[in-house]
Structure 1
Amino acid sequence: MEEDTGTSTGTVTVVVIGYDDAAHVTAAVRSALAQGPAVREVIAVDDCSTDGSAGLLEALAAGEPRLRVVRRTVNSGGCGTPRNDGIDAATAPYLMFLDSDDVLPPGAVDALLRAAGRHDAQVAAGLCVRRELPSGRETPWQPGLYARPAVAEHPAGRRRLVHDTLCVNKLYRTDFLRAHRIRFPEGRFPYEDFVFTARVLAAGPRLALVPDRVYVWHVRRTADRLSISLDRAGVDNWRARTEAARQAYDILLGAGEKRLAREARAKFLEHEVRMYARELELRDASHRRAWWTLTRAHLAAYDEADFARAPAPGRVIARVVLASEEPRDLPRLRELAARPSRLCPPYARAPGGAPVWSADLPQVPLDHVLTRPLRLLPLAVDAELRPRARGTRLRLVLHELYGRVAEAGPRTVEAAFVHRENARTRTVVGTAVLRPSSPGSGTWTAVLPLGTRALAAAGAATWDLRLRLRFADGSARDTTAHAMAGPGLLTRTALPSLRHGVLLLHPYATHSGSLALRVAPGPRGAAAVLRRRLSRLLPRTAAPAR
């Protein structure tokens, strides 16, 4: 937490934007007003809502002089235009943005304002957390940037700033935005944050970073209208994302910020390409072809230095896409895109012996696997889980990787299931010795019994398998496991239970191919799992933008 040096009264405008979000907009506005006297005004821009949102805001404003409501007469179709309206209407020296379905945590404005004032920074930024609802599970966004207080005299001195494309976890000097004419793209422009953030960084501000939580991003995956960052089922979403990334690169390069521009391309490979590649198998053939074509067109502008800056998984996936005109190797790409990454067999070599993606794509090198530390290698582990009344067992198979595994000497594997909604809750499966599957097989196998009592005690829940591989050379690798499919695998099984009557176990593969396990004790628990599953299959409409 930043040391308290006092904050000025009435120095911040908070711009809240919303469209047809009557269920949440007042909570967002109240969280801004609750920031205290530093907030001069909250400007709520209603983007021509039809669900009564504007009326709720007007009623709230009647009793709150710091709240101003701006009602648009035509829906803009996105987030950029209403935010620009807020910039135009702001009267305070500083401003920040808030979406109608999110909240500012207590003390957020003061923490950012203190940092901006102390360091004479045009921009102050803090930690955003993604809060899954209704579970409440929180995941920090770009936590490495906000691990401790810091000052960047210029964005180029901290290139990782390019990875934080959010506009909402930051405080901006109003005159800085206006002097540099920094605005959001107008109308329906998905991923408007990408372009706005690039414009901010291109202007070369001094930035103050604080470890304080300054924004809570609510993620409602079961909402009727998914935010566009969550609704990736249509290929237009990818088209919009590549266009936003292209514009961000051009803005940075046009400002002479070549290092930041390269970092933006590295971020695209590491984040966007991996995220969408994990889900590509879920789409139909026409979507895959369109995605592949769009990606090839976007990556055609990259040069070798752009690829070299990106971490290996995204770089390799991109090179496979560029090397093939048609979609290929999707299951293997999905495993490589996982976090942690898994490089599954086959392990091909070029005629000279160098590791390559495949015999027919020798132009895609995998030489990084020969030099990276073992703790960072994309080791592949297969997992089989067969629920049985007489005893459930977890079978793990570790694959060789161009001689690196045998060289390190596999010894043991520790397995645990981690609660999906509360990562602090773990069920340890146990530790087993890794033994050669057979002479010369290039694999090592371990089998562990799985007790279900601790899993069932948490109620209906989803558990993710986590592994720690230990080697004779003292190294270790934390990873996940590829979920093996086949007869009797990845199917729902009802087991008798003395305590619960029935226990429903469902091993399944996540979007990235990792083994996970749904557990539902008792008839009610099983019914709850089925209801949640059904809700995910029901059609939804997408929100205008996020």
Structure 2
Amino acid sequence: MSESVPPQVADRVSVVVISYNDAARVGDAIRSALAQGDAVGEVIVVDDCSGDDTPGVLAGFSGEPRVRPLIREENSGGCGTPRNDGVAAAVHPYVLFLDSDDLLMPGAVDGLLAVAAEQRADVVAGVCVRRELPEGRETVWAPSLYDVSQGATLPGTLLEGIEKHPEFVLDTLSVNKLYRRDFLDAHAIRFPDGAFHYEDFVFSARVQAAAPRLAVTDVPVYVWHVRRQAATLSISLRRASLANWEHRIAAHAAVVDVFRAADRPALALAAQTKFLDYDLPMYLRELPQRTAAYRADWWTVTRAHLAGFDAAAVAEAQAPSRWLHAALTALAAVPEGRELSRFVELAAPSPRLVPPYPRAEDGTPVLAAAPADVPLDGLAELAPADLPVAVDGVVAVGGATRLTLTVHDLYGRVGALRPTAVRVEFTERVSAAGLPVEAPLVPAAEGWTATVRVPTAKLLRPGRLAAWSLHAELRYADGSTGRAEVRAPQGFAGRRGVVVGRLGRPLLVQVVASARRGLVLRLAGGAVGARQVLSGRFRRLLAMR
């Protein structure tokens, strides 16, 4: 590897950028680091033996003394080794990591350094934003930890290790944090080398196991670009491959080993609970999209991993996660048909138990009919806000969009609360704009029903396709509330067609079910919609998740 070493300057940052065959984007990443100003003493760009024009792009920065290219002669097979190379080459007191297809936010380094100096922190953790491309929709990573508007309480606090806040194991990212290099060196903290995927998991666990003086801040730090339509998907998006799940399991097992070796048993348990509440549902709800062979192998691999979980970790998981763990443990073979659908919907981000509602011979509510007759332990104790209620929706579109809802009872729990009304939130998935509509709930044969109407013109977006997801807030007689994603009913196959809107204008409409069976409404109007159909682009946009 070739490099030139600049002089060390106190209280400056070495930004380590890793790149492999990303000539089209690495320049933007470098410029986002240089734009941080003088606080960035060097931008170490580790090229992992690219076969494209990445070296040529780096050569274009030869006039910028802060850019230090490190060209690897052999590809490492992963992200860990090039990051380790960058840390080894760094000369400044602080290190920050950046991937070649992402960006640092303006002012990120100054903001992190200010917190580090004020708190004398070993690590400063800030906000990472996931930006979906090409739509541009943005969400905060780990909102329960960082998004104050979503109830996060940690920003602005200083943690002496995370054992009093084990929920922090949810943050497995390395790129949204500033690290003191001497802290990493003192504890020999590095990434796993070679072709080890989900290396961030293990690196983050090693940092957390070392009990850093950790400052949590709401400083915007990092833009994580999510390109679901890219020719080459990032590792985290390759979930259609069983190997991806196996890599994730291996990384999780390594995380638990790190905590146990460091005598941090509470964090080892928290990591297992996190796997049940986060990792497992994310993959399980996509099983219907996979082949029968994939599902069978996935089930076998997953059961083997869960067999080593501590009972205390399972007990701390959310109720739907506990039920899924029990089902996986009980069933040697992957279920199919209705039973699998029931598991998939329970694994949705807003979990739901869907009808029918079977019971064991003694009347105990169970997850599904035998042999998956797993008792729903804890269902009776769940608060109204935590009940996995199923709400079906049927849509009709014309000059007005009419949504008819059916709220299903849940082993008598919903009926006991006496639902009175529903507030439906239409949320546009690109802009996150919300459109709330309320209606009373009335008893019906299947539970309760309500109908809401919205002028279709309010759902259109000039010049582009508009995609709306739907959530229902249920209101009960005692003043309590519950929330559920509106789901596509059983057997729903989706519809697409043309309807006539106001003033006789044609509207292209598709009502679809997402991978987790949530109801999604997509509309495009006028000439723009027609062009999208003729070009085939409309079909691709409608297939986006």
Q: TM-score, with normalisation over the residues of structure 1?
A: 0.91
User: Which amino acid in the other structure matches residue 113 of structure 2?
Assistant: L
| Higher mean displacement: 113-122 or 349-358 | 349-358
Structure 2: how far apart are the matches of 1:457 and 1:511? 24
Q: Is the 8 A contact 2:169 2:205 kept in 1?
A: yes
Contact 2:11 2:94 in 1 (8 A): no
Query: Aligned ranges for residues 433-448 of structure 1 at < 5 Å?
Result: 433-438=440-445, 441=446, 443-448=447-452
* Deviation sequence 1:131-172 (CA, Å, 0-9, x none): 112222110011232342111111212212211000001111
Could you say which residue in structure 1 is the equivalent of 2:152?
Answer: none
Task: Answer yes or no: is 1:451 the counterpart of 2:444.
Answer: no
Aligned counterparts of 1:354 and 1:535: Cα–Cα separation in 2: 44
Match of 1:56 in 2: 57
Please state if 1:475 is matched with 2:480: yes
Query: Deviation at 1:59?
Result: 1.5
Equivalent residue, structure 1, for 2:421: 412
Count matched residues: 523
Give the distance between the partners of 1:384 and 1:254, measured in 2 at CA.
Answer: 53
- Once the two structures are overlaid, the 10-residue window that deviates more, 319-328 or 444-453, is 444-453
Alignment match, 1:16: 17
2:299 is equivalent to residue 289 of structure 1: no
Matches within 5 A, 1:101-116: 101-116=101-116
8 Å CA contact 1:10, 1:41 repeated in 2: no
Counterpart among 396, 402, 412 of residue 403 in structure 1: 412
Q: Which residue type is aligned with residue 37 of structure 2?
A: G
The corresponding residue for 2:489 is: 484
* Equivalent residue for 1:427, pick from 410, 432, 435: 435
Q: Structure 2 vs 1, CA of residues 526 and 298 (structure 1 numbering), >3 Å: closer, same or farther?
A: farther
Q: CA deviation at 1:212?
A: 1.0
The CA deviation at 1:356 is: 2.3
Matched AA of 2:478: D
Higher relative contact order (CA 8 A, sep 6+): 1
Relative distance call for 1:363 and 1:335 in structure 2 (3 A) is closer
The AA in structure 2 aligned to 1:426 is G
The change in CA–CA distance for 1:46 and 1:437 in structure 2 (over 3 A counts) is same
CA contact (8 A) 1:80 1:189 kept: yes
The reply on whether 1:511 has 2:515 as its aligned counterpart is yes
Q: Which runs of 5+ in 1 are unaligned?
A: 1-7, 539-546
1:357 is matched with 367
User: Which residues of 2 match residues 118-517 of structure 1 at below 5 A?
Assistant: 118-146=118-146, 147=148, 148-328=155-335, 329-360=339-370, 364-387=374-397, 389=398, 392-423=401-432, 425-428=433-436, 430-438=437-445, 441=446, 443-458=447-462, 459-484=464-489, 490-499=494-503, 501-517=505-521
Preserved contact between residue 84 and residue 184 of structure 1 (Cα < 8 Å): yes
Whole-Å separation in 1 of the counterparts to 2:172 and 2:215: 16
Alignment match, 1:75: 75
Q: CA deviation at 1:537?
A: 7.5
Residues 269-327 of structure 1: per-residue CA shift (max 9 Å, x gap): 11111111111111010010111011000000013111011112222222211110111
Q: Which residue of 2 aligns with 1:522?
A: 526
* Aligned partners of 2:424 and 2:473 also within 8 Å: yes
Tell me if structure 1 keeps the 8 A contact 2:428–2:467.
Answer: yes
CA distance in 1, matches of 2:278, 2:452: 34
Distance across 2 between alignment mates of 1:222 and 1:404: 42
1:178: how far off? 1.6
Gaps of 5+ in 2: 1-8, 149-154
Does the 8 A contact of 1:198 with 1:251 survive in 2? Answer: yes
State the Cα deviation string for residues 318-355 of structure 1 (Å, max 9, x = none). 22111101112221112111121111122233444433
Deviation, structure 1 residue 433: 2.2
**Residues in 1 aligned to 2:352 and 2:541: alpha-carbon distance in whole angstroms:** 31
Pair 1:418–1:206, CA change in 2 (3 A) = same
Mark the CA change 1:422 to 1:390 in structure 2 (over 3 Å): closer, same or farther.
closer
Distance 1:33 1:418 in 2: 37
Q: CA deviation at 1:9?
A: 5.6
The 1:56/1:334 distance shift into structure 2, 3 A limit, reads same
**Within 1, Cα distance between the matches of 2:53 and 2:88?**
25
Q: Are 1:533 and 2:534 counterparts?
A: no
Residue in 2 that maps onto 1:47? 48
Q: Is the 8 A contact 2:134 2:227 kept in 1?
A: yes
Q: Is the 8 A contact 1:417 1:427 kept in 2?
A: yes
Q: In the alignment, is the contact (CA less than 8 A) between 1:222 and 1:535 conserved in 2? A: no
2:465 is aligned with what amino acid? A
Contact 2:417–2:478 (CA under 8 A) maintained in structure 1: yes
Is contact 2:44-2:69 (8 Å) kept?
Answer: yes
Cα offset, 1:359, TM superposition: 4.3
Query: Could you tell me how far 1:460 is from its partner in structure 2?
Result: 1.5
Structure 2 length-normalised TM: 0.92
SS of aligned partner of 1:503? strand
Relative to structure 1, the CA distance from residue 16 to residue 500 in structure 2 (aligned partners, 3 Å threshold; closer, same or farther) is farther
Q: CA deviation at 1:498?
A: 4.7
Aligned residue for 2:18, secondary structure, equals: strand
Distance 1:291 1:205, change over 3 A: same
